Amino acid sequence: MTEDFIVAVARGKVPGVTRFYKIGKNADIDTAASEDIISQGGTWAAPTTAEKVNIVSTSTNDTSNGTGLRTLTITGLNENYSEVSETITLNGTANVLSVNKYWIVYRMIGNTAGSTGANVGTITCTSTAANSSVQQQMQPTENQAQSIIYQVPLGKSLLLYDWAISTASTGFTTGNLLIKPFGGIFNVRGNTVVNGSGATSDMYDFHIPLRLPEKTIVKITGTVSANNQSLSATMQGIVIDNTVNELGYDETLTV
């Protein structure tokens, strides 16, 4: 695909094709085990059933008329594995229950705020399923959860172009791209290592994009050689409706 095609996708000019971009950060990884690149740290656990989620802050300022974050939007897959979004009006340290049921929430982003312009407390989105798994967490002042975890919606495919890791830690840091087909287990589909005494990064570029079919889960994990290390990651590509014949597009498309 040419650059013109990618620009057209970014501008929303290609029906059935949208840009995909995820960022993640884990601020405290230790040597004991690898961790997912998610704001809450540790390892993400999929809910055992599709259930509603609770959204809550650690600060009473994050409320409908507070000085902190007032509303946010969560996006994920509902009980039919279709992508859905909804806006949540925060209620400080009291839980707010979602309208939709979710297998996964893979995005949480702030919409409106009071005088501080950002969330004052840590905002957490937790499934009400039996295992009560944390789906997303927004750190203070960030207005967005930074989580590299995604499940491809029903009826769509993800073409993954590249992914990258970055760190300011010393020693060796390893990033792993993990893919879980629907009904399967996580497998490593790529890894990269950075080694330095300051800010370093590395990108893993698929010269031919990696195609992930519907309901596939993708995430990035990190392993470090010293405790208390911070690791950030990105991945990007395009999401295509399965009804779209992507090869039918003019690859010299100019808009």
Q: Mind listing the pLDDT tens digit for each residue in 16-36? A: 999 999 999 999 888 888 999
Residues 10 and 72 in one domain: no
Domain match, 64 and 134 both: yes
Whether residues 115 and 89 fall in one domain? yes
182 pLDDT exceeds 90? yes
Neighbours of 241 (CB within 10 A): 14
65 and 38 within one domain: no
Rounded to an integer, the average pLDDT of 223-236 is: 89
Whether residue 80 sits in one domain with residue 39: no
The long-range contacts involving 140-145, CB below 8 angstroms and separated by at least 24 positions, are 140/59, 142/39, 142/118, 143/69, 143/109, 143/110, 143/113, 143/118, 143/119, 144/108, 144/109, 144/110, 145/39, 145/107, 145/108, 145/109
Contacts of 163 (CB under 8 A, 6+ apart): 175, 177, 190, 203, 204, 220, 233, 234, 235, 236
**The two three-digit tokens of residue 152, written as one number:** 């491809």
Residue 254, pLDDT > 50, answer no
For 193-222, the pLDDT digits (tens) are: 877 666 677 888 888 999 999 999 999 999
**Boundaries of domain holding 80:** 53-138
**Which of the listed residues 138, 157, 178 is the one where a domain comes to its end?**
138
> Which of 235 and 2 is assigned the larger pLDDT?
235
End-of-domain residue from the set 138, 173, 197: 138
Query: Which of the two residues, 160 and 223, has the higher pLDDT score?
Result: 160
Query: Which residues in the chain belong to E strands, given as ranges?
Result: 17-29, 35-36, 53-57, 69-77, 83-89, 96-97, 104-113, 123-127, 134-138, 149-151, 156-167, 171-180, 187-196, 200-212, 217-224, 229-241
Tell whether 27 and 72 lie within a shared domain. Answer: no
| pLDDT value at residue 198 | 63
Q: Do the Cβ atoms of 173 and 198 come closer than 8 Å?
A: no
243 lies in some domain = yes
Does one domain contain both 90 and 134?
yes
Q: How many domains does the chain have?
A: 2
- Same structural domain, 39 and 108: no
Same domain, 84 and 14: no
Task: Give percent above pLDDT 90 in the chain.
Answer: 68
Q: In this structure, is residue 144 part of a structural domain? A: no
Does the residue 174 lie in any domain?
A: yes
Chain position carrying tokens 């009560």 = 132
In a domain, 22, yes or no: yes
Which of 70-74, 85-89, 137-141, 187-191 is least confident? 187-191
**Average pLDDT of the segment spanning 223-240:** 90
